C-alpha cells in the first residue's frame, strides 16, 4: 500500500526498528586494513528531498569511508565534460563477475564492462583526470558543493592503506594501458583513484550530494550538471550495475538506482522525489551492506516509491 508522506522521519524510525536484528550481521571489508576495523553495529540512514530538506536516523551524521559510492560522481563529472565519447572507453553492461576481476578485460580488449567495477572506474577517473588535471580534487569540489559541507576531505590513512594493498588495481590499470585505454601514467591514475575512494562523508552528506540525479541533472544551486538524458543514463547504469554482481537482486528487492561501497554505504535515487543514503559496515559476500540493503528494501515497500 502506498503511503503519502508529509515527512520521511516516521518511516526512517520504523525502518531502523524493523531491521535492527540485521545490524551487526556481515563483516567489514578486510582486504583494506583501514576498513577492517569498522564496527558492524553502526547504522545510519538519511533521506534528502529535492529542496534540500534532510531526514535521518541512527548514525546518519557520522562520516564513513565512501569507497565505490564516489564512482557515481566521477562518472557524472566525466560524462558532463566528455559526453558520448566516454562510452567508447567503458561499457554499460552488468559484469556478472567480482568487482576487481581481470577475467573479462582480456576477452573484451581492455574495455571494461561498466563504470562501477574497478576497471571501469579506473577508466572514468583516467578520463576525468585528462579533462581536468585533478580528478580527485574535482570530485571533492563537487561533493562539497552539493552537500553544503566544506569540511569533506580525503582520509590519508585509508588512501595509504589502499595504496599499500592495491596490486590488483595496479594490474587492472596496466592491463588496460596495454590496450591504450589509459592515458595517464599508471602511478598518477592510482593516486587519484585511491584518493577518490578515501573521501569520508556522512549519510546526510551523500543523500544531499546525490540530489542532482533526482532533479534530472540540476545541481543544488540551480545550475545544470547533466542533461536530462545523461541523468537518466547514470541512473540506469546504477540500477543495472551499481551493486557489483548483486545488481539483479538489488533491483528485485529495492527497485531503485543505487550504488554501494565496501565502506558499508549505499546511495539510492527516487527520480523526481528524493535521494537516500544508508550506512552499516557489515557486508555480505558480494560486498554490499547487509543492513543497508534491507533498509532500502523496507523503504520502498513502506512508501511505494520505486522506479517500477
Q: Is the torsion defined by CA of 164, 38, 213, 308 positive or negative?
A: positive
252 annotated active-site = no
The backbone torsions φ and ψ at residue 256, rounded to the nearest 5 degrees and listed phi first, read -135, 150
Burial class, 150, CB count within 10 angstroms (exposed 0-12 / middle 13-18 / buried 19+): exposed
244 annotated active-site = yes
Choosing from 57, 202, 234, 244, the catalytic residue is: 244
193 annotated active-site = yes
What is the per-residue burial (b if ≥16 Cβ within 10 Å, else e) of 168-179? ebbebbebbbee
Q: Are 209 and 63 in contact (CB under 8 A)?
A: no
Choosing from 11, 54, 71, 278, the catalytic residue is: 71
107 annotated active-site = no
DSSP-H helix ranges across 3-99? 9-18, 33-36, 71-82
Choosing from 57, 262, 270, 278, the catalytic residue is: 262
Q: At what angle do helices 118-132 and 135-147 cross, to 10 degrees?
A: 90
Q: Which helix (H) or strand (E) holds 146?
A: helix 135-147
Choosing from 23, 47, 57, 68, the catalytic residue is: 68
Strand partners, 259: 267
State the Cα torsion 119-121-124-125 to the nearest 10°: -110
- Count the neighbouring beta carbons within 10 Å of the beta carbon of residue 36: 13
Choosing from 123, 147, 193, 269, the catalytic residue is: 193
- Catalytic residue numbers? 68, 71, 193, 244, 262
Amino acid at each position: 500500500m502506498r503511503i503519502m508522506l508529509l515527512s520521511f522521519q516516521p518511516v526512517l524510525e520504523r525502518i531502523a526498528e524493523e531491521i535492527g536484528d540485521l545490524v551487526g550481521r556481515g563483516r567489514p571489508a578486510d582486504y583494506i586494513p583501514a576498513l577492517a576495523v569498522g564496527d558492524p553495529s553502526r547504522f545510519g540512514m538519511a533521506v534528502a528531498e529535492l529542496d534540500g530538506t534532510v531526514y535521518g536516523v541512527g548514525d546518519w551524521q557520522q562520516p564513513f569511508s565512501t569507497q565505490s559510492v564516489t564512482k557515481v560522481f566521477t562518472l557524472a563529472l566525466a560524462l558532463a565534460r566528455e559526453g558520448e565519447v566516454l562510452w567508447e572507453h567503458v561499457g554499460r553492461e552488468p559484469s556478472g563477475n567480482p568487482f576487481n576481476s581481470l577475467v573479462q578485460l582480456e576477452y573484451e580488449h581492455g574495455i571494461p564492462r561498466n563504470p562501477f567495477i574497478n576497471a571501469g572506474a579506473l577508466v572514468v577517473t583516467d578520463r576525468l583526470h585528462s579533462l581536468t588535471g585533478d580528478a580527485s580534487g574535482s570530485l571533492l569540489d563537487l561533493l562539497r558543493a552539493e552537500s553544503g559541507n566544506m569540511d569533506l576531505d580525503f582520509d590519508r590513512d585509508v588512501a595509504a592503506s589502499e595504496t599499500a594493498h592495491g596490486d590488483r588495481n595496479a594490474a587492472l590499470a596496466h592491463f588496460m594501458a596495454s590496450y591504450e585505454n589509459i592515458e595517464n601514467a599508471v602511478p598518477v591514475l592510482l593516486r587519484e583513484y585511491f584518493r577518490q575512494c578515501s573521501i569520508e562523508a556522512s549519510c546526510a552528506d551523500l543523500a544531499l550530494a546525490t540530489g542532482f540525479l533526482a532533479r534530472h541533472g540540476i545541481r543544488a544551486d540551480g545550475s545544470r550538471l547533466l542533461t536530462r538524458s545523461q541523468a537518466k543514463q547514470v541512473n540506469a547504469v546504477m540500477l543495472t550495475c551499481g551493486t557489483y554482481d548483486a545488481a539483479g537482486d538489488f533491483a528485485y528487492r529495492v527497485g531503485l538506482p543505487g550504488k554501494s561501497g565496501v565502506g558499508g554505504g549505499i546511495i539510492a535515487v527516487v527520480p523526481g522525489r528524493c535521494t537516500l543514503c544508508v550506512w552499516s559496515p557489515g557486508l555480505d559476500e558480494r560486498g554490499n551492506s547487509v543492513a543497508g540493503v534491507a533498509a532500502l528494501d523496507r523503504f520502498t515497500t513502506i512508501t511505494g516509491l520505486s522506479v517500477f
